[in-house]
Structures are given as structure tokens and as C-alpha cells.
Structure 1
């Protein structure tokens, strides 16, 4: 019988993969806590929580129990014209956690669609009020997803190249910092003056796909104030940053001016099943209330508010709010800080940065984002039982909250060995 890898190569097209250069994939047959197990029984520490999703650990027993209970009660129901308790309970729980201005929850399937919905809400918000605004503002090198609206707002050309002729109108500004903030403020103000701007979409504090680029809340706050003063709808893409990773429940908790719209996914369901939400203010919601059916928000997903996904999310929120998980988050933050002190002056490290449990360092080598050297570094870590995905010459860590200290030390050791080997 053919191996899982051989069977995979015959039938599957993987994401973010040039199969001619990298045809092989590693079969994972089991996961528990922060560990992944391949078909040969070798273990790997999941240093990125499987793209920032399994924050409470793989196959968490508390979540499994809640999901199993829900599966026996209600599995799936159309969410147009029906509702159910898991969706209502989850919406209430989320609104307790989200910034106070968030009042309504709209369900979808994944991070891209959550941002797509946010963009469409903003465009139609102005349309419904009799004002046509067609320009979106976004940060340079941001990433918001792979559907067309979300992709239009993204600034990473490696993802967008073949499709750019079909994008909506997006104007880009640099991410702000104390040195360039006056320049960015001037540029933002000028764009708003020269164009009919509908919305500003941004990843608060940390740009994930942009090699974990980080910027201060105080600078973001100045931009959000300008948008608020000009009726520009603000959309916080918290797909990656949400649910504790930045040291607060949401990155937006660290900004004084709260967004009009927030998109969430990934850790929302603790890595169990796909689901996303787009939350908004009452003001946004009210702009769609009208005697005309045409002013309703005609966007739907078959699995919107799937009861099983809602049950997983509710269980995840229970864990996030627990004293145990909050203590573990603080332990990871302190551990990263100690590791940073050890390696920040290494000759092969050009810079380090940390926001909450997200830690990143830049290697003092030139390399392409998906070039040969990147794969060599990936393999270097995997040989040492550590799963990390370099973003070009950036190595980052965003582990499950339940990771053991010994496992965290193994990640640090693998990175230290890499630095010494370069």
C-alpha cells in the first residue's frame, strides 16, 4: 500500500506551495497539547499553534466534551430565518469580551470572509446613506485574506500578483511609528481629502504575514481619530491577534479609539472547526434597517453560526477566561522576555520584537520569503522536533497557551542552535 505522502501527491493541491519545487508533505496523524505526531511516531512541538488557532492545545478535552454534547443535540441549521442557543450564547459571550461599542455579530466561515464582510459593510453603509464612497485605505504589506475584497486590501504582492487588475480601489499608507507618524498622518489626511474614502482596514499592533511587524498603539490611535473625524469606517482585522495573543483579549483593547468593525477567526474556535465573525457598532447595523429590502445586507454562508462551531468557541472562551490560562499566558510572555535577553545581541540577529505571546527575531542573512534557504531553516527546526514557519528571514513563535516550559525551552534551544550554525 502506498504511504500517506504518496497518496497525497496523487490527489491534493496544498496552499502556499509550489509543488514542482516542494512535492512532499509530512503526514500528521495525531495531535495533543502542543505536540504533533507524524506517521512514524516522531513528535514536533507546534511553535505556531497551527497558524494561531489551537491556542488551548490540540484535542483539548474540555472543548471535545462540549462539542460532543452539541453534536448530539443540533448539528447544522440554516441561519437565515432560524436561530439557536449556541449562536445566541456565543454572541452574548463575545460582546462581553469585545470593546463596548461592538453591538452586533455577523457569522461567516473564515478570516478572509470576515474581512470581506467588513469591507462590504463599510461600502454599503455609505451607499445606504446616499453617499457613494469607493476607496479603501490599508497599510503597506498588510494581509487580510485571499478573497477579492480582502486580497485587494492586502499589500503582499507574492499573494496578489495575477489578480491586481481586478482589485477594488485601495490606497496604502506605511505602518506608523514614532519616527514617521507625522508623515503618515499627513498622508492619511491627504488621501481622505482627495478621495471618497469608505474605510480603513488594519491589523492592530501586529501584522502577521508581514513577518510579525509590530507598531505602537499610540500611533494607531492618532490614525483612528482622523478616520473617526471624517466618517471613515475603521475595520480592525483581529483574525490573528484576537483572543489573548497580544497580552490583552483583543489588540483593540490597547487603543483608545475603538474600531467600528472587528473581524475574528482562527483562535475563535480553538482550532477545532472553521468559523468567523464580523462584529460592528449599532450605528453600522442601523444603516441597513429600512423598508427597502435592497438596503439589507445580502451576504450569507451555508455554515454561518454552525452550532458545533459555536459550541467549540464557547468552550474556548471559558478556557481563555480561566485563571489557569491567564497565568500560562503571563508565563509565556515572561519566558520570551528572558529568551530575548539571551539572544538579542547574537551576531546573527539583527532585531527582536515581542507583543504578548508573539515573539519574532530577524536573522542577519539575505533570503527570499519562500526561497531555498527558508526551507533549509524549516527542515533544521523539524529535525529537532520543532515546528516553526520562517517568514523570509524572520523566525517567530506563537505557541499554544498550554505549552509546557520544557517544550518552550526546546524551541528556544533549536533557535539558538540555528543562530550558532549560520
Structure 2
């Protein structure tokens, strides 16, 4: 078994990792999965409470999806998507148009979230150039945003850890301070406020609207910055502002789509429809890479014409419209509908939230427990009264993660924010194990270290 680990370290460069850490914390080689559980080659098991980077909606090795893969593989696995199509892609597109906000009537396929973001940015810019809006060459985004790690996606991100070294290569974007409901400068509460923090967005748009092609946002939750949850009023105001100043609204639902926030899409909390919606991760229940960009007839029609007019959107990916991935996504959406996943998640999400709040209430290093739908996050702080964060160099979250792994819980932190975003098949006993093991790990860390 050690041979696999040695070969991994010899050949593989892992993502989002400082490989030197692997000298002491070796890679865990997973052999199989079932439901919320992962099993390694040594027979240990781990509850996957982060859905393997937020992708797995219906559990590992889901029997219905397994059958859908087998059936599709016996027909066609992939075919060029230019001038050709396949039945699963057509079925999926029809389903997506039915369940997404009304404005979204066209589906453009790609293979990962960063690419979807790039496509939406390019479409918005290209649309404005063809409409004669030649000053609209910039994009507005929020601080603490995360939209992927290709150069265009990094340009509209706001987390320096990912982008600072690449700044000479990035697009010139406009950054607006993001909502920070835990440390709200207006002293408001996200559940009752009128999104007073929107003032910064409004001021920037009024000043720069003539050169803004699109505003891109993670609706309701800024994921990678620590599951920062904000008011739906912010989204309502943003949609109105974009309409007023002829600016496209891009909703990056890659992480928050498909039920994570308690509704099918995060935009549903505000009852708004963006001009572009980027979808990935949960679209294939964590089985295969795929993404889509959904947009309106108005934008689609701008690219429609004779070939010699050079209006076509000549963007392509080899695996666009992959038949296997589309068949999985179709079955995923069937399960959502037939098993009433969104409604059935309500009891589970309340249990996760309430158990977490109960364990956290007397713990002095926990500043906030925040929750929306199937997401519950725990922010660790040095001082609960001042909300002073731990310095990044202490790596508090990472050390707790290592303790939790030994206890059978895959709990990968976002800095000093621990969070639960489990597959929807999790049961009550597994929820109790997840929450209690997390807090047992927190307690063990602070007991063994001096703060």
C-alpha cells in the first residue's frame, strides 16, 4: 500500500497544496466511495463533509447514476459538438431552461467552472462590441470573490492568495468592497438589513458605468473566502442597478447551484434572473467535469447571422456537450425531482445548523456560526468580542483538519473557517458524527496548543 503513496509523491503535483506539507502529511489514496463515505487503500473510512470540493450532491457511487453512465457508455461516449449533437445534451438543455430563471433560454457547454466564467466574460464583451458599446471593456467584481483560476477568472477574483503573483498578467477590473455580514460596518444583521453595504457598489457603478460590460457575483455566498453569506436584498438591488445602467449581470452559481443554499439556485432567494448563469460542480453530481453558461435570447441573437459577418462566438472546448457527462446530469436532475431533494434537505440542514450552534455556544474561539441551506460554516477567531482573526501563519484550520482526518472526517478548511457542505444523502446519525467529530477536533487542537 505504501507503494501507491510513494509513486503519488514521485509523479503527482497536487492542486491547492504546498507539496512540502506532504513530507509529514502523506496523500490519502482512496479506493472506493459509498454514500457520504470514502474508503482508503488501508481500510480507513472518512465522512466526506465537503462533498469532494462541493461537487458531490447525491453521494459517492450512486446506483442510479452508475446505471446512467453504463447505459450511455454502451451508446456514445463523446462526439464533436460543432454541427453534431447528442440526445443527453439536448435533454439536459431542455431541463435546464425549465428550472433556471426565465431570462435564461440558451445553453452553451464547456468542461469546467473557470472556463464557464471566461465564456460569460467573453460573451458579454463581444456582445457590447457588436452593439457598438465600444467603451464597455471592463468588468466589475467584489473583493473576496472567487471565480476560478485561469487568467480571466483570476482577473475577476478578489482573493490575493490565488492571484497576487499574476497581477501583471490580469485584466484591469474594478473591485468593490464585498458584503461582510459578520463584521458589518453598518452594524446590521443579514437577516433583517436593507443591504446598506450596497452603497459601495452603487457609487462605483454610477462613476464607471459607461465602461462596465458586466458585473460578476457569487449569489448569496462567497464560497472560497469562507462561506460569507449575505442578504438577498443585495442581489435585488444589483439586478435593478444593472438594468438601469445597461450592464450585464453574471451569476456564478458554480458552487452554489443545485440546492446548496436551500433553493435550486442561489438567485432564487432574490427572485432575480441574471443575464448569464455559470453552472458546474453539482450539475453532474460530482461524477464528471462539465459546465454550462446559460444566457438570454437577446444575447444569443446578437451573434446570429451570416458567417461572413464574423458575428459568431468562436469559442470551443474539445469536451463540450460530452454525452456521458450530460447523461449523468440528466439523471441527477431526475433524482432531484423524483425524490424531492430540495424539500427533504430542510430537516437535515436545520439539524446540522442547530447541532453546530449548540456545540459552539460556549466556545470562546468561535466567532460566528453561519448557515444557509446545506451549508454551515464556523469562523474561528482569536477573540470573540473583537472578532480578531487568527493570523494566517498559525494555520489553525489546517491543523484541526489534520486532527479530524485521524478521526474519520474529511474537513478541509477555508483559512480559519471550517464548514459542512455534505452530500444530500447524509442521514441523521452521520450528521451527528460529522458535527461532533468536528468539535472534538477543535477542542483537541486548542487543548494541546497555547493561545
Q: Secondary structure of the residue that 2:419 maps to in structure 1?
A: strand
* CA deviations over 1:68-98 (Å, ceiling 9, x no partner): 1000011110000101111100000111111
Structure 1 equivalent of residue 222 of structure 2: 207
- Does residue 240 (structure 1) correspond to residue 255 (structure 2)? The answer is yes
Q: 2:167 aligns with which of 159, 164, 172?
A: 164
Using the alignment, how far apart are the partners of 1:181 and 1:275 within structure 2?
Answer: 34
Question: Comparing 172-181 with 89-98, which one deviates more in the overlay?
Answer: 172-181
Question: Comparing 184-193 with 195-204, which one deviates more in the overlay?
Answer: 184-193
Q: 1:137 aligns with which of 137, 140, 145?
A: 140
Structure 2 equivalent of residue 26 of structure 1: 28
Using the alignment, how far apart are the partners of 2:31 and 2:313 within structure 1?
Answer: 41
- Does residue 118 (structure 1) correspond to residue 133 (structure 2)? The answer is no
Q: 1:108 to 1:325 in 2, by over 3 A?
A: same
Q: 1:41 aligns with which of 12, 29, 43?
A: 43
Structure 2 equivalent of residue 330 of structure 1: 346
Give the TM-score normalised by the residue count of structure 2: 0.90
Q: 2:331 aligns with which of 309, 315, 319?
A: 315
CA-CA distance at 1:181 after TM superposition: 2.6
Q: 1:91 to 1:336 in 2, by over 3 A?
A: same
- Does residue 65 (structure 1) correspond to residue 80 (structure 2)? The answer is no
Using the alignment, how far apart are the partners of 1:390 and 1:182 within structure 2?
Answer: 28
- Does residue 378 (structure 1) correspond to residue 401 (structure 2)? The answer is yes
* CA deviations over 1:250-309 (Å, ceiling 9, x no partner): 001112331000000000011111110000011111111133442110100001010000
Give the TM-score normalised by the residue count of structure 1: 0.96
CA-CA distance at 1:5 after TM superposition: 0.8
Q: Secondary structure of the residue that 2:213 maps to in structure 1?
A: strand
Q: 1:78 to 1:182 in 2, by over 3 A?
A: closer
- Does residue 223 (structure 1) correspond to residue 238 (structure 2)? The answer is yes
Structure 2 equivalent of residue 92 of structure 1: 94
Q: Secondary structure of the residue that 1:392 maps to in structure 2?
A: coil
Structure 1 equivalent of residue 184 of structure 2: none
5+ residue gaps, structure 1, are none
Q: Secondary structure of the residue that 2:258 maps to in structure 1?
A: coil
Quick check: 2:34–2:59 contact (8 Å CA) kept in 1?
Answer: yes
Quick check: 1:175–1:215 contact (8 Å CA) kept in 2?
Answer: no
Structure 1 segments (4+ residues) deviating >6 Å: none
Using the alignment, how far apart are the partners of 2:39 and 2:2 within structure 1?
Answer: 19
Structure 2 equivalent of residue 183 of structure 1: 199
Question: Comparing 21-30 with 389-398, which one deviates more in the overlay?
Answer: 21-30
Structure 2 equivalent of residue 417 of structure 1: 440
* CA deviations over 1:346-384 (Å, ceiling 9, x no partner): 222111111111000111235455854333111111111
Quick check: 1:369–1:391 contact (8 Å CA) kept in 2?
Answer: no
Question: Comparing 314-323 with 108-117, which one deviates more in the overlay?
Answer: 314-323
Q: Secondary structure of the residue that 2:216 maps to in structure 1?
A: strand
Structure 2 equivalent of residue 9 of structure 1: 9
Q: Secondary structure of the residue that 1:204 maps to in structure 2?
A: coil
Structure 2 equivalent of residue 146 of structure 1: 149
- Does residue 396 (structure 1) correspond to residue 419 (structure 2)? The answer is yes
Quick check: 1:343–1:349 contact (8 Å CA) kept in 2?
Answer: no
Using the alignment, how far apart are the partners of 1:392 and 1:201 within structure 2?
Answer: 23
Question: Comparing 264-273 with 14-23, which one deviates more in the overlay?
Answer: 14-23
Question: Comparing 325-334 with 225-234, which one deviates more in the overlay?
Answer: 325-334
Q: 1:239 to 1:182 in 2, by over 3 A?
A: closer
Quick check: 2:108–2:294 contact (8 Å CA) kept in 1?
Answer: yes
CA-CA distance at 1:58 after TM superposition: 0.5
Quick check: 1:143–1:210 contact (8 Å CA) kept in 2?
Answer: yes
* CA deviations over 1:308-329 (Å, ceiling 9, x no partner): 0000000110111123533541
CA-CA distance at 1:182 after TM superposition: 5.0
Quick check: 2:88–2:326 contact (8 Å CA) kept in 1?
Answer: yes
